[in-house]
A and B are shown apart, each in its own frame.
Chain A
Amino acid sequence: MKTLTTFAATATATLMLSTGIASADVTIGIAAEPYPPFAEKTADGSWTGWEVEMIGALCEAMEETCTIAPIAWDGIIPALMSKKIDVIMASMSITEERLKTIDFSDKYYNTPAVLVGAKSMEMTGDPASLDGKYVGVQVSTTHANYVDAHFAETADVKTYNTFDEHNQDLVAGRIDAVVGDSLAFQDFLKSDAGAPYEVKAELNDVAIFGPGVGAGMRKDDTDLHAKMNAAIEKIRADGTYKAISDKYFDFDIYGG
């Protein structure tokens, strides 16, 4: 169902070399659900994608040994709090609500949310255009918050546990539109199943979407926090960030 990307081999290689002068092992939690092109599983079971390569680069910059732990998305913050993992790097947006529980590094990317629907159907980001339509969204994401705030009055909202599931129901026709991250939709829209669909609108609301995506950490882990911010700055400055991003995107994923 999902088209495998070609950068699989390079990404896995990057992860392997993330050794260096290790002070203590850092466990990085990623979401166990595929979220291409950020993270997806290759045929041999290893993880690959932009975010996975970025984890490799950041760990190298921090001079830490990192282990990647896939955790179900809905349990990822509890896993951080119970010290099963030390860092969340799962395309998690920095939000007020999450900042009550955990801390975030500076953003490492920021992409707009979009509304995706059938080419044959008239709709825009305007709530009135979604009157009586079914809109799907992944549960407990900033996109779900946006849908609750803007579309819940006019549209019928259905929440899904994973990104793949709402896409499957979009293709099945059970829902008319989905709201999610513009980049996460790239692969889907290029696939055969996604061909009849297109981006209808970019959705903006800083109060909901916040400054972007950061690495989640425990509030008392201040050392790691400082190291992570320094590492982000370092790979931004020395060209590593751009080199990795250019393989995946033809625009600046870091955002304005």
Chain B
Amino acid sequence: MEWYWLPEYAPRFLEGLWLTLQLLGLSIFFGMSLAIPIGLAQVTGPWPLAWTARAFCTVIRGTPLLIQLWLIYYGLGSLFPFIPGIRESMIWPLLREAFPYAVVAFSLSVAGYEGEVMRGAFRSVPRGELEAARAMGMSPFKVLRRIWLPRALQNVFPTLAGEFILTLKATPLAATITVFEVYGVGSIVRQETYRIYEPLLFVALIYLCLTFVLVIAFRLMERRMPQRSA
């Protein structure tokens, strides 16, 4: 084992770690913002909406994330030469960077998987509770905000924590579209120093620590949730 390279690459690992955290955080935020309406649409939506939501989940869950990522990054990129003026447009600085594409791809993935989880979650809330809330005179939106959503989230909280850990471990795929997050930096070290085990072990250790932090964070949040003894 040789670790002489570690001090030299430490700043880049820090940058990579920051990228990984941003990617994970943004994907979970945008992904869950989509997953909740997608889950709800599947349970109560009118059929065209329910059908669209279900189709979305099936497509996202049924295709490899790597291919989705490449379709979004290189696929869209191959269309740019045919769109006149795109390189002079206001959004071009965003379109030329790779990071936004990674966020979009990962958010859609989170939305697809968690949309399905949320479908089950909304369905698992006892109808009686919703009816009781309605009988209290709450509007449908208030029922959702006060009863349905909190109860649904509470039911699937441990599942979601597990899913987010899976998302964390999918982030190395971003390195294939020039987003050099933790894994990407690790592979640069591998290629520049020709050491194999040490950089890989180091990267694995970082992910292990991140997972540990996620688990602890979710457990704390779970404990703060009001529990109803059955």
Contacts and interface: CB of A to CB of B under 8 A. Distances in A.
A101 B194 CA distance: 8
A134 B188 contact: no
A171 B77 CA distance: 8
Given A77-B194, A159-B180, A168 B188 contact: no
A173 B178 contact: no
Interface in B76-99: 77-78, 80-81, 86-87, 95-98
Contacts of A140: 188, 191-192
Nearest to A193: B81
Interface string A184-205: 0000000001000000000000
Nearest to B86: A173
A175 B80 CA distance: 12
B196 interface: yes
Contacts of A174: 77, 80, 95-98
A168 B194 contact: no
A160 interface: yes
Interface in A126-175: 134, 139-140, 158-161, 165, 168-169, 171-175
B18 to A, nearest CB: 18
A74 interface: yes
A240 to B, nearest CB: 33
A134 B74 contact: no
B176 interface: yes
A133 to B, nearest CB: 11
Interface in B177-196: 178, 180, 187-188, 190-192, 194, 196
B83 to A, nearest CB: 10
B172 to A, nearest CB: 12
A20 interface: no
Contacts of A210: none
B74 A165 contact: yes
A77 B195 CA distance: 10
B31 to A, nearest CB: 25
A230 to B, nearest CB: 28
Interface residues of B, number: 22
A134 B191 contact: no
A78 interface: yes
Contacts, number: 54
A161 B96 contact: no
Contacts of B98: 158, 174
The dominant DSSP class at the A interface is mixed
Contacts of B188: 139-140, 159
Most B Cβ at <10 Å: residue of A140, A160, A175: A140
A76 to B, nearest CB: 10
Contacts of A78: 190, 194, 196
A36 to B, nearest CB: 19
Contact of B87 (A77, A168, A173): A173
A172 B194 contact: no
Interface string B32-76: 000000000000000000000000000000000000000000100
A165 B177 CA distance: 9
B176 A161 contact: yes
A81 B86 CA distance: 47
A174 B96 CA distance: 4
Nearest to B77: A172
A174 B97 CA distance: 7
A168 B78 contact: yes
Contact of B191 (A74, A81, A160): A74
B80 A172 contact: yes
A175 B74 CA distance: 13
B101 to A, nearest CB: 10
A172 B178 contact: no
Contact of A173 (B81, B97, B191): B81
A74 B192 CA distance: 10
Interface of A: 74, 77-78, 81, 97, 101, 134, 139-140, 158-161, 165, 168-169, 171-175, 193
20 contacts: A77-B194, A81-B194, A101-B194, A139-B188, A139-B191, A158-B98, A158-B178, A159-B178, A160-B178, A161-B175, A165-B178, A168-B78, A169-B178, A172-B74, A173-B81, A173-B87, A174-B77, A174-B96, A174-B98, A193-B81
Please provide the 10 A-B residue pairs with the shortest distance between their CB atoms, ordered closest to farther: A172-B77, A140-B191, A174-B96, A172-B80, A101-B194, A78-B196, A74-B191, A173-B87, A77-B194, A158-B178
